[in-house]
């Protein structure tokens, strides 16, 4: 049973999504200095959408530690993007930051082509970019918000996947970021939760579609995670208690999710496809 909420973070709010990691207090922990890399992704090339901050940044850095070169596709958070590029290059790996609005198929296709050209190919795709808008009722969700949420969270996954699939070879992996809301719902994130449910169904369908090509497709369903999306979507008061109602009574840090994405990208998960991995501060999903 979830407990009552208690203070967890300083109250704060950013007025623009998907938000800036550099402006957060405290800044998310995207790097685990105690992580022991084992060369699980040596020579691999990965594309990570939303890779400038939050979960995407942690995943990109962890991939680089494991020996991969990375291209991050991001919207407009140039300061955050420059930082992760520098972090990855300091490890001796390549990182290409490509600003793009993935809501359009043509833009998504162009960005993928640029990323593949710069990396010399692609072995792993992580679909991770997204937005969410808090509303008290379905009556408050306009058609414009609904379309924007689906275009950002689901259509972008569809477009990027469609552009990447012809570039993939056997043994490649696609990993989609879903959410606990796909399974539990959220009374104030109705359209967001619906997009995450669509991502779960998309993951399972694509896993079946690509099975004969030996391309695996899985998803990660995070619970509360301390990312810029939180401070740019929730009120200051809700940010102050974010994650405290979970069984662990805290939100995860992005670096706590990254190893799951490594597992799903490398040969350790060679017999795993069509699955959803729950990293959610202790909530049991049956």
Above pLDDT 90, what percent of the chain? 94
Beta strands in the chain (DSSP E): 45-49, 69-74, 95-99, 124-127, 173-177, 216-222, 276-279
- Contact indicator for 218, 173 with CB cutoff of 8 Å: yes
The Cα 195–Cα 207 span in angstroms is 18
- Express each pLDDT in 241-273 by its tens digit: 999 999 999 999 999 999 999 999 999 999 999
- Express each pLDDT in 127-150 by its tens digit: 999 999 999 999 999 999 999 999
Average pLDDT, the chain: 96
Predicted TM-score (pTM) of this structure? 0.96
Task: Kindly list the structural domains of the chain, giving each domain's residue range(s) and its CATH number in brackets, ordered by start.
Answer: 32-278 (3.40.50.720)
Q: Which residue numbers are catalytic?
A: 192
2: pLDDT confidence band, cut at 50, 70 and 90? Answer: very low
Q: DSSP code of 151?
A: I
What angle (nearest 5°) sits at the alpha carbon of residue 248, between those of residues 246 and 252? 85
């Amino acid at each position: 049973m979830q407990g009552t909420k208690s203070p967890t973070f300083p109250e704060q709010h950013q007025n623009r999504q998907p938000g800036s990691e550099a402006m957060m207090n405290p800044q998310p922990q995207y790097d685990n200095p105690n992580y022991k890399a084992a060369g699980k992704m040596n020579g691999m090339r990965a594309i990570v959408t939303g890779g400038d901050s939050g979960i995407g940044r942690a995943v990109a850095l962890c991939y680089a530690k494991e020996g991969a070169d990375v291209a991050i596709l991001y919207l407009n958070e140039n300061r955050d993007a420059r930082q992760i590029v520098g972090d990855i290059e300091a490890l001796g790996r390549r990182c290409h930051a490509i600003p793009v609005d993935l809501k359009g198929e043509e833009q998504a296709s162009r960005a993928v082509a640029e990323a593949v050209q710069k990396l010399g190919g692609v072995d792993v795709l992580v679909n991770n970019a997204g937005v969410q808008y808090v509303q008290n009722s379905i009556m408050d969700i306009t058609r414009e918000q609904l379309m924007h949420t689906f275009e950002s969270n689901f259509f972008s996954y569809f477009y990027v996947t469609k552009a990447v699939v012809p570039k993939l070879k056997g043994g490649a992996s696609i990993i989609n970021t879903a959410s606990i809301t796909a399974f539990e719902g959220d009374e104030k994130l109705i359209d967001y939760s619906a997009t995450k449910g669509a991502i779960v169904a998309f993951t399972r369908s694509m896993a079946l579609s690509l099975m004969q090509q030996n391309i695996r497709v899985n998803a990660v369903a995070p619970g509360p995670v301390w990312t810029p999306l939180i401070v740019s979507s929730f009120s200051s008061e809700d940010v102050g208690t974010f994650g405290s109602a979970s069984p662990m009574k805290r939100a995860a840090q992005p670096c706590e999710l990254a190893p799951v994405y490594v597992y799903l990208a490398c040969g350790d998960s060679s017999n795993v496809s069509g699955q959803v991995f729950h990293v959610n501060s202790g909530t049991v999903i049956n």
